[in-house]
Amino acid sequence: MLNQSDLGELEAMGFIGAIRCASNGAIIDATGDDLEVFGNILGYISQVADMIGEPFGMDSIEEIHIESANTKAICIPQEDSSLGVLCSSRSNTDAILEAFIN
């Protein structure tokens, strides 16, 4: 995904970990600790987002943001996979996502 120097910079901004999963939930690539459960959730969330969007005429949901008191989770469906990023609740998620998407 990213090299160690990039990860150090992102961790200073509140990055916890990232995972890329296939549409069936299989982990393609992961950065961080204990992300296997998040990978399973990411696959499920992407499937549910498509089911929710379909009745409203949406092709797919572009991004899903889940926030709790301590963490933010961002799920982004892509062509053949989904990207999930975990960050601290006070992080600048836009700057962190830019490193993964560009």
Domain boundaries defined on the chain = 4-101
- The Cα 83–Cα 64 span in angstroms is 11
Who contacts 51 (Cβ-Cβ below 8 Å, separation ≥6)? none
pLDDT bin (cut points 50, 70, 90) of residue 1 is: low
pLDDT bin (cut points 50, 70, 90) of residue 61 is: low
Give residue-wise pLDDT tens across range 81-90.
888 888 999 9
- 36 backbone dihedrals φ, ψ, rounded to 5°: -60, -45
Find, among 18, 13, 21, 16, the residue nearest to 31 by Cα.
18
Model pTM score: 0.76
Residue 4 confidence (pLDDT):
63
**Burial class for 9, CB neighbours closer than 10 Å (0-12, 13-18, 19+):** middle
The domain defined by 4-101 folds into Beta-Lactamase (3.30.450)
pLDDT bin (cut points 50, 70, 90) of residue 91 is: very high
